[in-house]
Each structure stands twice: as C-alpha cells, then as structure tokens.
Homo-oligomer: A and B are copies of this chain.
Amino acid sequence: VTTRSPGQRAGLTREALLAGAGDLLREEGLESLTMRALGTRLGVTPKALYSHVAGKDALIDHLLDQTLIEVRQPPVDAKDPIDGLQTVMASTYRVLLTHPDLVPLYLARQGAHGPNAHRLGAIITVLLAEAGVQGHAQQEALRVLIGYTIGFAAFAVRPESGSEVDGQSSGSRPRANVMLLNFTAGLQWLLTGIVRDWSTPDRR
C-alpha cells in the first residue's frame, strides 16, 4: 500500500503518532505496540516515525506523560488540603486504571517525566505544604503517595490471578468499585499518618 515516493509528505505529526500509539495499545495490547505496526497503521514506513520522535522509548515516554493530562485538578478554592490530596490521588488512580497496559510502564520508568507529570507533582507538593508537610518529609510523602497509588493500580488491573491470592474472589460484579474503595481507605490511612507524624506546625 505504498503509493508515495520519497519527498512526498504524509502529513504526520507527533500528536498523530501518539494518538495512533494509544489506539494500538487499546485495541491490540502492549505486545502489539511496535514501531513497525504503528507505521503500517499510519500508512508509513517505520523510519518515517523517527522524524517525529527520537525512538520507541521516547514515544512511550510521551504517551505516559500525555495520559496524565486526564488527571482531575482539585478546585482552586481548596478548603482542606487533605481533601485535595485525596481528590488528586484518587483521580490519578482512576486514570491509571483507564490505561491498564501503561501501568507497568510507569513503574518500569519510575513514573512519567514530562511536563504533565511535573505539573501533577507540583500540585501534590503544594497541597502537602498547605497541610504543613515540608522539606525532607515532603519529598518522602510524595514518594509514599505515588508509590502506593501506582502500586495499587498495578494490582487492581486484573481481577483474578492477583499474585499469591487464590482465584476465588467473592463474585466480580462491583469489582472496580470495591477496589476503588480499598484504594481510598488505604490512601486515607496514609494521609492521616503523614499529617500526624510528618507535619511541622510552624509555617502557614
């Protein structure tokens, strides 16, 4: 299906690459996300992709970061910073579950590293500061929250065969909701502990 000679533009953009990669991931799974497959899907030679992206790793990095756009911002008139943290982390958890195949990649790369990830980290940091968690403890709290969220998401992705758990989970009807409630409970415990043990009451 190659009706184009060298020099003719195919009209590719980085956005088109990311959209195609996202579709490929959603429809065919992680194993099928291949530079060659992405090329044929876009009607283009694999090499053409390298004009818009440094390589496969860079493409995935962009994909991971772009996904975080969907994370819901807490309202600016935040009354309670703890509520804000609960909102942001729960939204992050939900977004991660929407893209199950990406979850292991976030962990393999230790999170995303683009502008959206940075923005999200900044929001969490501000909320922690408002809750009186600063400096050293602030960075550690950030790691605890992110590690818990991504780790839990990774184990929530597939219903059965969940590590060493026996397969017989009690039905599977409201499973996603049950997992979300479990996640929220643990998150609340962590937030309570962080504020209780790591906050410095001086500033603010």
Q: B164 contacts A143, CB within 8 Å?
A: no
Contact A118 B164 (CB under 8 A): yes
A186 to B137, CA, bound (A): 12
* Binding-face segment, A15-23, A38-46, A78-86, A154-162: A154-162
Q: Which residue of the partner chain B has the closest CB to A181?
A: B140
Is chain A's binding surface mostly helix, strand, loop or mixed?
helix
A115 to chain B, nearest CB (A): 10
Expressed in whole angstroms, the minimum distance between the Cβ of A61 and any Cβ of chain B is 12
Q: In the bound complex, what is the Cα–Cα distance between A108 and B182 (angstroms)? A: 21
B136, B149, B151: the one within 8 Å of A107 (CB) = B151
Interface residue? A103 (CB, 8 A):
yes
User: Which residues of chain B come closer than 8 Å to A186, judged between CB atoms?
Assistant: 144, 148, 190, 193
Question: Does A55 have its Cβ within 8 Å of any Cβ on chain B?
Answer: no
Contact code string A104-123 (vs B, CB < 8 Å = 1, else 0): 10011011110001101110
Question: Are A112 and B164 in touch, CB under 8 angstroms?
Answer: yes
Q: Within the complex, which residue of B104, B118, B147 is in contact with A148, where a contact is CB–CB below 8 Å?
A: B147
Bound complex: CA A141 to CA B120 (Å): 28
The answer for the CA separation of A136 and B158 in the assembled complex, in Å, is: 17
User: Across the two chains, which residue of chain B brings its CB closest to A30?
Assistant: B108
Contact mask A165-204 → B, CB, 8 Å, 1/0?
A: 1000110000000110010011011101110010000000
From A192, which residue of chain B is reached at the shortest CB distance? Answer: B189
Q: 3 shortest A-B CB distances, which residue pairs?
A: A151-B151, A111-B163, A121-B164
Q: Report which A residues bind B (CB closer than 8 A).
A: 103-104, 107-108, 110-113, 117-118, 120-122, 124, 135-136, 139-140, 142-144, 146-158, 161-165, 169-170, 178-179, 182, 185-186, 188-190, 192-194, 197
